[in-house]
């Protein structure tokens, strides 16, 4: 949400939590822009009552630990995923 245009009143009234703001990069065909533009506010709604307690523990519960490297794809690579998954026969998977 752009703080220069909106205040987030509806989100706040609906008990969404303001957690942070973005760095201002935007998506481009090549991935992300090199320079920053306007930052956006990030609101979240906890799906569990104890979400803050779970996420702020010194060690996350094993259930929430993945330990795997994050996948970083360019926009071109992401566009090719549709064709890749479309070609998979769902009958052979089961």
pTM confidence score: 0.48
Average pLDDT over residues 15-40: 79
Predicted confidence at residue 69, as pLDDT, reads 67
Cα–Cα distances in angstroms (integers) from residue 17 to residues 4, 6, 35, 40, 41, in the given order: 19, 15, 28, 14, 10
Between CA 75 and CA 80, with CA 76 as vertex, the angle to 5 degrees is 115
Q: What percent of the chain has pLDDT over 70?
A: 91
Distance of CA 1 to the CA centre of its chain: 14
Question: In residues, how long is the chain?
Answer: 94
Query: Is residue 8 a contact partner of residue 15, using CB atoms and an 8 Å limit?
Result: no
Q: What is the pLDDT of residues 49-88, one digit of tens each?
A: 888 888 788 887 777 777 766 678 888 888 888 888 888 8
Residues 18-37 have a mean pLDDT of 77
């Amino acid at each position: 949400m752009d703080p220069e245009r909106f205040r987030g009143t509806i989100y706040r009234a609906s008990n969404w939590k303001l957690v942070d703001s973005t760095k201002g990069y935007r998506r481009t065909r090549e991935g992300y822009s090199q320079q920053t533009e306007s930052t956006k506010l990030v609101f979240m709604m906890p799906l569990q009552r104890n979400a803050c307690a779970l996420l702020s523990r010194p060690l996350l519960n094993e259930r929430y630990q993945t330990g795997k490297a994050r996948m970083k794809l360019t926009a071109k690579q992401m566009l090719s995923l549709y064709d890749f998954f479309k070609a998979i026969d769902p009958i052979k998977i089961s």
